[in-house]
Structure 1
Amino acid sequence: MNRPSFSNAPLLALALFLLFPLAGPAQAAGSVLAVYNSGRAQVTESRVVTLPEGAAAVVFTDIPSTLDPSSIRATAPDMTVEDVQYAYRPITAANLLNAYIGKELSVILPDPADANARILRKAKLLANADRPIFAMGKEVYVGSYEALLLPEMPKGFDAEPTLTLTTRSSVAGRKNVALSYLMDGLGWRADYNLTVGQAGETCDLDAWATVTNNSDHAFPGADLRLVAGDVQRAAAPKMLARGNAVMAEAMVMDTAPAPAMAAEESFSQYHVYDPGRYVSIPASGSKQVGLFSAANIPVRTELSSLFRSGPNQRAGKINQSVESALILTNTAANNLGKPMPAGVVRVYMPMASGTKLLAGEARIGHAAEGEEVRLVIGRSFDVNVERTQTSFKRIGKNAAEISWRITVRNGSAESRDIKLRESLAGQWTILNADTPYVPTDAGTIEFDLKNVAPSAGTEGKAVNYTVRFEYS
């Protein structure tokens, strides 16, 4: 193995060469920043350094503390990297105390003789796992304290992270070093504003990307890429595990302007969005970037109520909630046809006056082109469903016959459609029903009730059916 020989090298060759951002236009100094849904980012930077011929240590100082040291790659013409060292021991209370384990320090304690007084004691710090433990003479003290006084600042702490490359260059001079790494603390999600038209049959959709940075490292003038998809990550060893970043919620008002269109392309099994401009990401906080907008998308409202039924005897009346959902199909024929990354959809609906009010929010997963998007935005105020078990008959040891009466009442001034979905456990057979139904899968049937009339002063619309359950 070839190792650097420093025995005859001048001291200058051993000096640390500090990297600095590339001079010139702001965009030339910016990073190429690929941000993933998972809270991770890939950073590619170009920096300039002056290297001597032979071995040198090159130090990067302006780097994020959430960097993954194992992912670092650096290349430059006529330069090889022989080792990479990442160092960051921040000045925190826990780190300072850990440095003083086994050493003496001063502890300010409550005075046992006077609740309002304090005493200063010399103590040896024995441990600092869940809390500091002190030795005071022959006694071990585990309890509260007001403050600790350290004799001096211990060595080995860093004001900021440093990345040191041991390099070997065959040609001396200024070089552009391409540095790339992965980091945590950067993530993004989609936020959608969906505004329903006055007739309730079409909607307009504005899609935004909310990029959230919790790394305390800014990226001015970044060449941004947003990667949508669930990228597999290997489990990190415990020594490299990091805390989960807290994603800040971003509220988008319905008065926000339509977003600029971002270019989109497929990558592996994912989709990548390019805003087409340089974007500055603050060190802490969020930034919204336009993805796309679409108008006049056909949409329909669906009311539905689901009940899970099994071979059990039930007494009394059972109230069921009625979900209100908006449904649209993500196709070009419907003026959409775009991959929709996971995020939150805020739905605004018009009043008679034309004023748009927030009608609900729904969280969606990734919706590919061609998929139906179902947005459950709340529960119906006017339509309610009530059911009663009208009969229960045990058939031997392994079967039961159950009859249900389901009553739908419409308290609004207009007729409503509603779907009653019955999720049936085990082996089942419908023996009779007074209303047509369709099986939607191996364990569900659906009664599709059309034009349920307003039921003020009436008993509402009733559905009766009997099911036989068989079980082992």
Structure 2
Amino acid sequence: MKLQSTRNGRKSLSVAAYNGGFALVRESRLVTSDGPAEEVQFLDVAERIEPDSIVVKGLEILEQNYDYDLVSKGKLLERYIDRNVHVRNSETGEAVEMRLLSVSECIIGERADTKEIVIDPVGELILPALSEGLLLKPALVWKIAPVVLDQEIQVSYLTKSLEWHAHYTMEINEHEFRFEGWVKILNRSGAHYEKAKLTLVAGEVHREEEVNNGDSTIVYSRMQEAGVTVLALPDRFIYRMNRPVTVMNEQLKQLSLFSAHGAEFKRTYQVCSGDTHADIKLEFFNTVENGLGIPLPAGLVKVYEIGESEEAFFAGEDRIAHTIPGKNLCIHIGKAVDITSDSYEKLREKHGVHEYITYVYKIENGKAESIRLTVEHIIYDPFWEMESSSHDYERKSSSKVEFVVRIHPTATVELEFTYKIDKQHEGRSY
């Protein structure tokens, strides 16, 4: 006999969603049969299931198939090729019997009484009883040795088209900010996940293909009261929702991760060679003191700033990487209209094997308060050494040097520095 297992027999369901656009689904179901069963049809699985990822515990499986032969007009009619069907006139109620010959481009039949060929007959097409084996839903079909079933089985599999992304909102006012983390889950896997234990896995997992999907209907669900548990897993950030979550197919759901209030941040400015205006950056630490101190998954941060009128305006957005507790976050939100920069090469001289280059940054602060600004300069020559500088600096890497400039209100400062290049080493390989 054949046994069908549906989600009605489900005992537990968990979904672990990954950044890469796929998920690991695990569920337990109770399966019972009145007599020896030789085939189990496991229904209500994801349409985007990866058949080679399926793991089953609790059944001795001899053969496994993934059947996607769902009921549709075309697929249903194909089952009746070379069989007799009836076409009934809706006005007279008269039915004509005919043998179905083709349904590929149109319906072609042969009348049973006259042997005439009929193309696209007019009337109501009546078919015999539903063909055996035609499934109404996608299913895993397992052949097993005949046995009476009364047991719980565990099934796990990977499915594509279920993805999650983190995103954040940041509202700043003077030196304090409100920082909220959200999770966006998009389910296009072809299955509903009702009251599932939801886990989110942050970090790159190597896959042979990437899956990209658009957005769908948005459903908002605040989970601040229920909270999120951060779990430990080597090389990954793991977040488990503390209450069951339902994610329906073709649904985009947003869940709250956390909310930090009254935390402190620092506004900084930076210019690079060629910039005409300074970059605005907001910096804060991912610490308990700032209401955070948890691993933050990579995501987009949208920043809103409250002005003198107490009205919030959109200030900019930036993307953060996966950030462990204790690390500094730096969010670039745009350019400052009242801090300008003019940079140029002032002098280039050659003395023997060395070439001396003098560079100037002319920076104007149009604000009514003093600012602290960093200048990031890239030196592309591999062998160089700083000769002189009008301001303090720090060598960040083999090619990057950073200067610190303090500028009074409505004042202009010139940063000038000279470095030498060792031309003797150019062209050598090491």
Question: If the TM-score is normalised by the length of the shorter chain, which range does it land in?
Answer: 0.7 to 0.9
d(CA) in 1 for partners of 2:108, 2:22: 38
Q: 1:251 to 1:400 in 2, by over 3 A?
A: farther
1:379: how far off?
Answer: 1.6
2:243 to 277, 281, 286: 277
1:36: how far off?
Answer: 1.3
Amino acid corresponding to residue 87 of structure 1 in structure 2: D
Over residues 380-399 of structure 1, what are the superposed CA-to-partner deviations in whole Å (9 max), with x where a residue is unaligned? 22112111221122456x65
Q: 1:49 to 1:260 in 2, by over 3 A?
A: closer
Answering whether residue 124 of structure 2 is matched by residue 149 of structure 1, we say no
Answering whether residue 317 of structure 2 is matched by residue 361 of structure 1, we say yes
1:244 to 196, 211, 219: 211
Q: Which residue of 1 aligns with 2:8?
A: 22
Over residues 198-250 of structure 1, what are the superposed CA-to-partner deviations in whole Å (9 max), with x where a residue is unaligned? 322x22221111111122322122121112222233x26xxxxxx72314399
Q: Which residue of 2 aligns with 1:179?
A: 155
Answering whether residue 21 of structure 2 is matched by residue 39 of structure 1, we say yes
1:284: how far off?
Answer: 0.8
Answering whether residue 164 of structure 2 is matched by residue 188 of structure 1, we say yes
Q: 1:442 to 1:252 in 2, by over 3 A?
A: farther
Q: Please list every run of 5 or more consecutive structure 2 residues that lacks an aligned counterpart in the other structure.
A: 79-103, 110-130
Residue pairs, 1:104-115, within 5 angstroms: none
Q: 1:152 to 1:423 in 2, by over 3 A?
A: farther
1:350: how far off?
Answer: 1.3
Q: Which residue of 2 aligns with 1:291?
A: 257
Q: Which residue of 2 aligns with 1:212?
A: 186
For 2:272, what is the secondary structure of its paired residue? strand
Residues 56 and 154, structure 2, Cα contact 8 Å, conserved in 1: yes
d(CA) in 2 for partners of 1:166, 1:278: 33
1:306: how far off?
Answer: 2.3
Q: 1:250 to 1:407 in 2, by over 3 A?
A: farther
d(CA) in 2 for partners of 1:388, 1:229: 42
Q: 1:345 to 1:392 in 2, by over 3 A?
A: same
Residues 67 and 184, structure 1, Cα contact 8 Å, conserved in 2: yes
Q: Please list every run of 5 or more consecutive structure 1 residues that lacks an aligned counterpart in the other structure.
A: 1-14, 100-147, 237-242, 308-317
Amino acid corresponding to residue 144 of structure 2 in structure 1: T
Amino acid corresponding to residue 379 of structure 2 in structure 1: L
For 1:70, what is the secondary structure of its paired residue? helix
For 1:149, what is the secondary structure of its paired residue? coil
Q: Which residue of 2 aligns with 1:417?
A: 372
Amino acid corresponding to residue 240 of structure 2 in structure 1: D
Residues 260 and 290, structure 1, Cα contact 8 Å, conserved in 2: no
Instruction: Provide the alpha-carbon RMSD of the alignment.
Output: 3.2
1:287: how far off?
Answer: 0.8
Q: 1:452 to 1:178 in 2, by over 3 A?
A: same
Amino acid corresponding to residue 358 of structure 2 in structure 1: S
Q: Which residue of 2 aligns with 1:429?
A: 385
Over residues 415-465 of structure 1, what are the superposed CA-to-partner deviations in whole Å (9 max), with x where a residue is unaligned? 22210011112111122222222222332221111234314xxxx211111
Amino acid corresponding to residue 18 of structure 1 in structure 2: Q
2:42 to 60, 65, 70: 60
Residues 65 and 160, structure 1, Cα contact 8 Å, conserved in 2: no
Over residues 147-193 of structure 1, what are the superposed CA-to-partner deviations in whole Å (9 max), with x where a residue is unaligned? x934579x9997642210112365x2433222211111111111212
Residues 275 and 290, structure 1, Cα contact 8 Å, conserved in 2: no
Amino acid corresponding to residue 139 of structure 2 in structure 1: T
Identity of aligned residues (%): 24
Over residues 350-383 of structure 1, what are the superposed CA-to-partner deviations in whole Å (9 max), with x where a residue is unaligned? 1012222221111111101111111111122211
TM-score, reference length from structure 2? 0.77
Amino acid corresponding to residue 161 of structure 1 in structure 2: P
Residue pairs, 1:287-436, within 5 angstroms: 287-307=253-273, 318-395=274-351, 399-425=354-380, 426-436=382-392
Residues 362 and 375, structure 1, Cα contact 8 Å, conserved in 2: yes
d(CA) in 1 for partners of 2:414, 2:5: 77
